[in-house]
Amino acid sequence: MEYIIRTNEDFEQIKNLITDYDIIFFQEGSFRIKHSFPQNNIKICGISKEKTIITNDDHYHKIMEDFNECNTFRTYTIEILGDNVQLENITIKNSCKSSIHGQAVALSVYGNNFNANNCSIYGEQDTLFTGPLPNDLKIRYKGFLTDLELNKNNSIQIYENCDLYGDVDFIFGCATALFKKCNIYCLNNRGFVCAPAHDKSIQFGYLFLNCHIINRTNSSNQSFYLARPWRDYGCAAFIDCIYDNHILEDGFNKWNDTNRDKTARFYEYNIKKYNRINFVKILNNNEKDNYIQDFFKYID
């Protein structure tokens, strides 16, 4: 079934009718929607990322209907729980300001084999959550989050030709995720592009390939790190990326007063030489080629 959505009311009428293999096509406009999709093999698409916008404004400290704070993992505008989901030609936005409200997720993806193409994912702190949850949080949030959120395991996700916006840890989680030819916009004069939390058993984490890390801080000061490990063994690689002038010379951070520099798996390759912090592996040309080849075998 293909559903054509022209208004918020259109979506309210069909949201409980969606089943596996359906297509949800949003026409031009701004739609105020918060929704979780448990269905498999669905496609969610719009006219273009400039013309079709789904937005909401939940944030960490907002009190929800159960009288609890929203918490990071319930702030999403759109949540993907099903497998084999496609997102195309659309913007997913959380409009909260991090300086006021803190964590505010735009898109949460728990499902396996997720693919986003030509999309914009806009927020500030914790914009994109790439599930699953770290193992310790699956225990902590038992009875608070849903069983589907708690029980999802390894996830492979692909983001191609997408725009991602944020400041603090705005791409975070445990998925094996490819970001290919994406524009990564850093906002608000401070922050970390990503905060990976991969388990030691996960061979590959984030791969940023041919991405542009763009300064939208309105300052030429170096104020952003590329990554810091949210949990031990967090894994991220930046290969053939272009950086604007806001990336700090160290490039990477160990996460406050932890010892995660001993376990983090961070890799980088490009032509320009940086004085990176010593726990980052700088790949040579052969290592870079092998890493890309092995990564693509892993996600295939």
Q: φ and ψ at 291, to 5 degrees?
A: -60, -45
Residue 100's pLDDT band (cuts 50, 70, 90) = confident
pLDDT tens-place string over residues 103-158? 999 999 999 999 999 999 999 999 999 999 999 999 999 999 999 999 999 999 99
What number of other Cβ atoms are within 10 A of residue 237's Cβ?
A: 23
What average pLDDT does the segment 170-181 reach?
Answer: 98
The Cα–Cα gap between 179 and 208 comes to 5
pLDDT value of residue 102: 86
Q: Which of 164, 208, 215, 163 is nearest to 186 (CA)?
A: 215
Burial classification of residue 121, based on how many CB atoms lie within 10 Å of its CB (0-12 exposed, 13-18 middle, 19 or more buried): buried
Residue 271's pLDDT band (cuts 50, 70, 90) = low
The Cα–Cα gap between 114 and 177 comes to 9
Residue 286's pLDDT band (cuts 50, 70, 90) = very high
pTM (2 d.p.) = 0.97
Q: Which domains does the chain have, with CATH numbers?
A: 35-299 (2.160.20.10)
pLDDT tens-place string over residues 203-258? 999 999 999 999 999 777 889 999 999 999 999 999 999 999 999 999 999 999 99
Asked if the model's pLDDT at residue 19 lies above 70, the reply is yes
Q: Which of 195, 229, 216, 209 is nearest to 270 (CA)?
A: 209
Is residue 159 within 8 Å of 137, Cβ to Cβ?
no
pLDDT value of residue 194: 98
pLDDT value of residue 238: 98
What average pLDDT does the segment 39-64 reach?
Answer: 96
Q: Apex CA 208: angle with CA 233 and CA 277, to 5°?
A: 55
Burial classification of residue 37, based on how many CB atoms lie within 10 Å of its CB (0-12 exposed, 13-18 middle, 19 or more buried): buried
pLDDT value of residue 61: 93
The Cα–Cα gap between 76 and 70 comes to 10
Pull the structure tokens for residue 64.
């929800």
For residue 152, how far is the Cα from the chain centroid? 16
The Cα–Cα gap between 19 and 37 comes to 10
Q: Which of 216, 220, 212, 205 is nearest to 173 (CA)?
A: 205
